[in-house]
Amino acid sequence: MFERLVKTAHVAERYRKAPLAQERERYLEHLHRGGHSHDRLKRVNHLLLAVVERTKINGKTPILVADLFEAAGKWVAQTARSSTLPRSIHGAQIDFVSSASGWLRFLGWLEEPCPTPEKPFSNELAMFLHHLHEERGLTDMTLVVRGSLLERFFAWLSGRGGSLLTVTPATITDFFLEHRQRGWKRRTIICYGQSLRAFFRYAASRGWCADNIAKTIDRPCMYSYESLPQGLTWIVVQSLIANVSGNRPANIRDRAAILLLAVYGLRIGEVCALTLDDIDWDSERIHCRRPKQRRTNTYPLTREIGEAVIRYLQEVRPRSSHRQLFLRTNTPHHPISSISLGSQVRAHIRRLGIQLPHYGPHVLRHSCATHLLSEGFSLKEIGDHLGHRSAETTQIYAKVDHQSLREVAAFGLTNVTDLLDDHKVKSKSHQSRFRLDDLRKVANLNLGGVL
């Protein structure tokens, strides 16, 4: 391994004669099998040599993390130049400690710090989340959100010395009042109210708390269609796709992901969950699992998206045992998370320089819906395309169809009868037009030659 990471046999001999050569070489082989790049292996090899030269490692006495930080300080003081920025020095120290910790942990020679104390009411929370998953069938993302909100409440309750048996309606009120003064918005309060009400309903059935707690947890009024979905105009979507270009590996990957978000209206979690097996190249189809609906939608694999995915697979995606389509560009090459990919998409949208209430990847889903609406597709067809379970979910997009609203406003009451008669004629003539096959064709989306 040493010979593959250095340029000359003389230098390789230096690494081999240093202490714990076998242990270092074994760890480098472990990283190589884990998919770490050649450059990263060279860096770790260099750092491990610095570690054994500046620490007393004998395999009998565990090494403290504090000892590694001390050795990192000595190493930086000896090797850093006078012109090196403090930020670079700090980064080098962290890299030194991280590499050393990983190696010693691999060997079982690192004395880990005391484990983090168990979070309050963790057993009760685990049982509740298991109930939501097994009995209610909620998605993993919903469980993550519910768990995060409840952990915050439990930490607050534990800090006051309370228990589930001592919780009263006044306790819940104090929690909301205290945090409302810190700037919580109505939407946040609603989310906490839903989570707490569901938990205390379950807790009462288990005898953990009083029976009446859940009934006393109210929430602020939230009106139907109160907020409008904020999407990009299709011209802006075209500009976004055109701007995510070039030969940077991250851009090649992000371009394919953005096309999937905009053309099919997928959620970011659905894009991250796509696997190599979900693309049927022979039939030119792509299969998407919808966790909320617990079903799979099939879409035509358009030429533009197919070419973007093929380029990503051929030029960027590393060899990996993972079957997920999109992987991290940096080592280790694990499947990319929805948070990480969403941050990349958000950054691309921000570079457009437009003002939006939100810049997350979900705006591309709204953009897809509003574009389909402007193309004349019905709300039912748009809901099928987006994978909506209920037609009511799609109805909110009727509020953003400004063109149709202006047409309605342009008619006087005297023309209502003529308008209705004309609409009946048009509906009959358009019935054959609004088929699902036609909706699938909109996946091409008139990208205007930007691809």
Q: Which tens digits make up the pLDDT trace of 274-333?
A: 999 999 999 889 998 877 667 788 888 888 889 999 999 999 898 888 899 999 887 778
36 catalytically annotated? no
| Continuous segment of H or E residues that includes residue 296 | strand 295-300
Residue 419 has pLDDT above 70, yes or no: no
Distance CA 42, CA 4 (A): 9
433 catalytically annotated? no
Distance CA 178, CA 172 (A): 10
Residue 265 has pLDDT above 90, yes or no: no
Q: Model confidence over 345-394: pLDDT tens digits?
A: 999 988 888 887 778 888 888 888 888 777 777 767 777 777 776 665 66
What per-residue confidence (pLDDT) applies to 397?
Answer: 59
Domains of the chain are 2-111 (no CATH), 122-216 (1.10.150.130), 234-374 (1.10.443.10)
What per-residue confidence (pLDDT) applies to 114?
Answer: 64
What per-residue confidence (pLDDT) applies to 11?
Answer: 83
What per-residue confidence (pLDDT) applies to 79?
Answer: 79
Higher pLDDT, 426 or 105: 105
Candidates 362, 366, 371, 385; catalytic one: 362
397 catalytically annotated? yes
In order of 10, 112, 122, 207, the CA distances from 119 in angstroms are 53, 19, 6, 21
In percent, the amount of the chain with pLDDT more than 70 equals 80
Q: Model confidence over 33-46: pLDDT tens digits?
A: 877 878 888 888 88
Burial 242-259 (b: 16+ CB within 10 A, else e): ebbeeeeebbbbbbbbbb
Q: Model confidence over 399-413: pLDDT tens digits?
A: 555 454 444 444 444
| Continuous segment of H or E residues that includes residue 285 | strand 285-290
What per-residue confidence (pLDDT) applies to 318?
Answer: 86
Range scoring the smallest mean pLDDT among 101-115, 211-225, 321-335: 211-225
Confidence of residue 450 (pLDDT cuts 50, 70, 90): very low
The answer for residues whose C-beta is within 8 angstroms of residue 101's C-beta and 6 or more apart is 65, 68, 110
What per-residue confidence (pLDDT) applies to 394?
Answer: 62
Q: What 3-state DSSP class applies to 358? A: coil
Residue 446 has pLDDT above 80, yes or no: no
| Continuous segment of H or E residues that includes residue 53 | helix 38-54
Query: Strand 110-111 and strand 63-64: pairing?
Result: parallel
Distance CA 377, CA 442 (A): 10
Cβ count within 10 A of residue 50: 20
Residue 430 has pLDDT above 80, yes or no: no
Range scoring the smallest mean pLDDT among 51-60, 78-87, 346-355, 375-384: 78-87
Distance CA 213, CA 169 (A): 6
| Mean pLDDT score, 233-260 | 89
Candidates 27, 192, 264, 397; catalytic one: 397
In order of 180, 208, 219, 368, 440, the CA distances from 188 in angstroms are 9, 26, 10, 27, 37
Cβ count within 10 A of residue 211: 12
Candidates 253, 267, 366, 371; catalytic one: 267
Candidates 24, 348, 365, 385; catalytic one: 365
Instruction: For residue 332, say if its preceding peptide bond is cis, omega within 30 degrees of 0.
Output: yes
In percent, the amount of the chain with pLDDT more than 90 equals 18
Environment class of residue 314 by beta-carbon count within 10 Å: exposed (0-12), middle (13-18) or buried (19+)?
A: exposed
Candidates 26, 42, 292, 334; catalytic one: 292
Question: Is 0.85 topped by the overall pTM?
Answer: no
267 catalytically annotated? yes
201 catalytically annotated? no
Beta bridge partners of 324: 275
Distance CA 322, CA 304 (A): 25
